[in-house]
A and B are shown apart, each in its own frame.
Chain A
Amino acid sequence: MSDTVSKAGSDERGVQAPQVIESKHEGHSWTGEAPLFIYAVWYLAFLYIPVLFLPLFSFNDSIYVAFPLKGFTLQWYADMLENPALLHALENSVKVGAGVAIASTFLGIFAAKAMTRYRLPGKGPLTSFIMLPLVVPGIILGIALLVISNTIGVDLSLYTIGLAHTLVAVPFAMLVLMSRLEGFDKSLEEASLDLGENAFQTFLRVTLPLAWPGILASTLLTFTISFDEFILAFFLAGNEVTLPIYIWSQLRFPNRLPMVLSLGACILVASFFIVTFSEVIRRRGVGTQSGAAI
Chain B
Amino acid sequence: MSDQTHAAGTYSGAEEQTSFGFKLRSLFLKHEWLRGYLLLSPTLLVMICLMCVPLFMLVAYSFWTQNYLDIDKTFTLANYEAYFQKPIYAALMFKSIRMSLYCTFATLLLAYPMAYFIAFKVTKNKLIWLILITVPFWTSYLLRVFAWKVILGFNGVINSGLISLGIISDPLEFLLYNPTAVVLTLAHAWAAFAILPIYVSLEKIDRSLLEAATDLGDTPKERFWRVTWPLSLPGVIAAGLLVFIPTVGDYVTPKLVGGTTGIMIGNIVQSQFGKANNWPMGAALSVISMLMITILVVTFIVATTRARAKN
A binding-site residues for B, Cβ under 8 Å: 1-2, 5, 11-12, 15-23, 25-26, 29, 32-33, 36-37, 39-40, 43-44, 46-48, 50-51, 53-54, 57, 64-68, 107-108, 110-111, 113-115, 117-121, 126, 129-130, 132-141, 143-148, 150-151, 163-164, 166-167, 170, 174, 198-200, 221, 224-225, 228-231, 235, 244, 247-248, 251, 260-261, 264, 267-268, 271-272, 275-276, 279-280, 283-284
Q: Indicate the member of A57, A107, A114, A200 with the most B CB atoms within 10 Å.
A: A114
Q: With A110-B39, A135-B246, A139-B251 as known contacts, state yes or no: A19 contacts B123, CB within 8 Å.
A: yes
| Shortest CB distance A267–B (Å) | 6
Q: Which residue of A lies closest to B123 (CB)?
A: A19
B residues 30-74 touching A (CB-CB < 8 Å): 32-33, 35-37, 39-40, 42-44, 46-47, 50-51, 53-55, 57-58, 61
- Whether A235 lies near B203 (C-beta < 8 A) is no
Nearest chain A CB to B209's CB is how many angstroms away? Answer: 9
For B303, what are the chain A residues with a Cβ–Cβ distance below 8 Å?
Answer: none
Chain A to chain B contacts (Cβ below 8 Å), 27 pairs: A1-B206, A11-B123, A15-B203, A18-B207, A20-B207, A22-B207, A37-B117, A39-B113, A39-B114, A43-B113, A44-B132, A46-B110, A50-B144, A53-B157, A68-B160, A119-B32, A130-B43, A133-B47, A136-B245, A138-B251, A170-B46, A200-B1, A224-B139, A230-B142, A231-B252, A248-B142, A279-B130
Residue pair B57, A148 in contact (C-beta under 8 Å): yes
**Contact, CB under 8 Å: B246 / A143:** no
Taking A121-B33, A140-B286, A275-B138 as contacts, is the C-beta distance between A32 and B46 under 8 angstroms? no
In contact, B8 and A132 (Cβ under 8 angstroms): no
**Interface assignment of B146: CB less than 8 Å from any CB of chain A:** yes
Q: Is B191 an interface residue (CB 8 A)?
A: yes
B148 touches A111 (CB 8 A): no
Q: Does B126 lie within 8 Å of A139, measured CB to CB?
A: no
| Residue from B5, B131, B256 within 8 A of A280 (CB atoms) | B131
Cα A90 to Cα B155 in complex, Å, equals 30
Q: A65–B47 contact, CB under 8 A?
A: no
**Smallest CB separation, A94 vs chain B (Å):** 15
Q: Name the distance in Å between B257's Cβ and chain A's nearest Cβ.
A: 12
- Complex: how many Å from CA A26 to CA B123? 10
Distance, CA A145 to CA B188, complexed state (A): 28
Known contacts A65-B156, A67-B164, A143-B269; decide if A230 and B203 are in contact (CB<8 Å). no
New A-B pairs, 17, CB < 8 Å, besides A107-B43, A137-B248, A283-B131: A18-B206, A37-B117, A51-B136, A53-B157, A115-B40, A119-B32, A133-B47, A139-B286, A143-B273, A143-B282, A167-B47, A228-B140, A231-B251, A247-B146, A261-B150, A271-B138, A276-B135
- Across the interface, B126 reaches (CB within 8 A) one of A11, A114, A166, namely A11
The answer for the CA separation of A199 and B110 in the assembled complex, in Å, is 48
Does B131 lie within 8 Å of A29, measured CB to CB? Answer: no
Q: How far is the CA of A126 from the CA of B47 in the complex (A)?
A: 11
Taken together as a complex, chains A and B put the C-alpha atoms of A225 and B58 apart, in Å, by 25
Residues of B within 8 A of A163 (CB): 50
Q: Are B188 and A135 in contact (CB under 8 A)?
A: no
Residues facing A in B137-171 (CB within 8 A) are 138-144, 146-148, 150-151, 153, 155-157, 159-161, 163-164
The winner among A15, A65, A140, A251 for most chain B CB atoms within 10 A is A140
Q: Which residue of B lies closest to A225 (CB)?
A: B138
Is B92 part of the contact surface with A, judged by Cβ < 8 Å? no
Q: Is there a chain A Cβ closer than 8 Å to B179's Cβ?
A: no
The answer to whether A65 and B37 touch (CB under 8 A), given A107-B43, A137-B245, A137-B250, is no
Closest to B293 in A: A137
Minimum CB–CB distance from A147 to chain B (whole Å) comes to: 5
* B interface, size bucket: 35 or more
Chain A residues near B136 (CB-CB < 8 A)? 47-48, 51
| Residues of B with C-beta under 8 A to A114 | 36-37, 39-40
B120: A residues at CB distance < 8 A: 22
Contact between chains at B273 and A36 (CB < 8 Å) = no
Q: Which residues of B contact A248 (CB under 8 A)?
A: 142
Residue interface mask B208-233, A partner, CB < 8 A = 1: 10110010000010000000000000
User: Hey, which chain A residues are within 8 Å of B138, CB to CB?
Assistant: 221, 224-225, 228, 271, 275
Contact partners of B143 in chain A: CB under 8 A: 51, 54, 228, 247, 264, 267-268
Nearest chain B CB to A29's CB is how many angstroms away?
7
CA gap between A111 and B40 in the complex, in Å: 5
Q: What's the Cα separation between A90 and B207 when bound, in Å?
A: 49
Confirm or deny: B2 has a beta carbon within 8 angstroms of a beta carbon on chain A.
yes
Residue contact A137 to B266, C-beta cutoff 8 Å:
yes
Contact assessment for A118 and B39 in the assembled complex, using a CB-CB cutoff below 8 Å: yes
Distance to closest chain B CB from A89 (angstroms): 13
Residues of A within 8 A of B175 (CB): none
Q: How far is the CB of B267 from chain A (nearest CB, A)?
A: 9
Collect the chain A residues with CB atoms within 8 Å of residue B110's CB. Answer: 43, 46
Cα-based distance from A26 to B207 in the complex (angstroms): 14
Say yes or no: is B124 at the interface (Cβ < 8 Å to chain A): yes
